[in-house]
Amino acid sequence: GAGVSQSPRYKVAKRGQDVALRCDPISGHVSLFWYQQALGQGPEFLTYFQNEAQLDKSGLPSDRFFAERPEGSVSTLKIQRTQQEDSAVYLCASSLSGGAYDYGYTFGSGTRLTVV
Amino acid sequence: AQKITQTQPGMFVQEKEAVTLDCTYDTSDPSYGLFWYKQPSSGEMIFLIYQGSYDQQNATEGRYSLNFQKARKSANLVISASQLGDSAMYFCASNQAGTALIFGKGTTLSVSS
């Protein structure tokens, strides 16, 4: 596609519910990144894929968070047993390679998750 | 580990004036990239400008320029001739080979007429 597509755009979950957030990157982009952005804050890194390999998951805040990219394209971020502190915008970005000289990062519009 | 520091939570400027948004960085790798993004209230992340660590010249893109001072680990964004549409949150970010973009906490810019 022309851009990075994220769905759903908005999600309201009851505390304790599981949610799945989808990211469809630009076709051919090798690297995919997930970020969590709380209101008024900068995006915080969650995890990073190169093709289907999850190279860095150091930013995942707890074992309730899980991400996958099984075929090296679409990625899903799953949050189990959601808590109120999980309320945030979840941003996905993709890039052609993801190295230091790759400045072609494209961000999706994000999924705004509200846990009630 | 990389770290980005933006010390100005908010900046105020009048239309047509220039404004500088501060950013300092800390990185362990001699090869890195520096970025500035704009995020309006709509939430989209808009790429503004990029500077590679080995670039000799400061990057410029239209009204945006990056004042890169490597020895001071500083990468300030300069916006010339501010416009009302520049009101937004601005993020400085960096990456190294094999790592994700790491962002600062951001600066909210308000442009008044």
pLDDT tens-digit map of B26-38: 988 888 999 999 9
DSSP structure class, residue A71: T
- Separation CA B15–CA B110 (nearest Å): 10
> Which chain B residues are closer than 8 Å to A101 by Cβ?
31, 33, 52
Q: Would you call A40 exposed, middle or buried from its count of C-beta atoms within 10 A (0-12, 13-18, 19+)?
A: exposed
SS3 A84: helix
pLDDT digits (tens, 9 = 90+) for A61-105: 999 999 999 999 999 999 999 999 999 999 999 998 766 556 678
Q: What is the pLDDT of residue A99?
A: 60
User: Has residue B98 got a pLDDT over 80?
Assistant: no
- Whether a cis peptide bond, with omega within 30° of 0, leads into A8 is yes
What are the residues whose beta carbons fall under 8 Å from the beta carbon of B57, sequence distance 6 or more? none
What are the residues whose beta carbons fall under 8 Å from the beta carbon of B69, sequence distance 6 or more? B75, B76
Nearest CB to B47 within list A43, A45, A105: A105
- Separation CA B102–CA B61 (nearest Å): 22
Interface test with B, best of A101, A102, A106 (most B CBs within 10 A): A101
Residue with tokens 């209230």, as numbered in its chain: B41
What mean pLDDT is reported for chain A?
Answer: 93
Average pLDDT over residues B5-23: 97
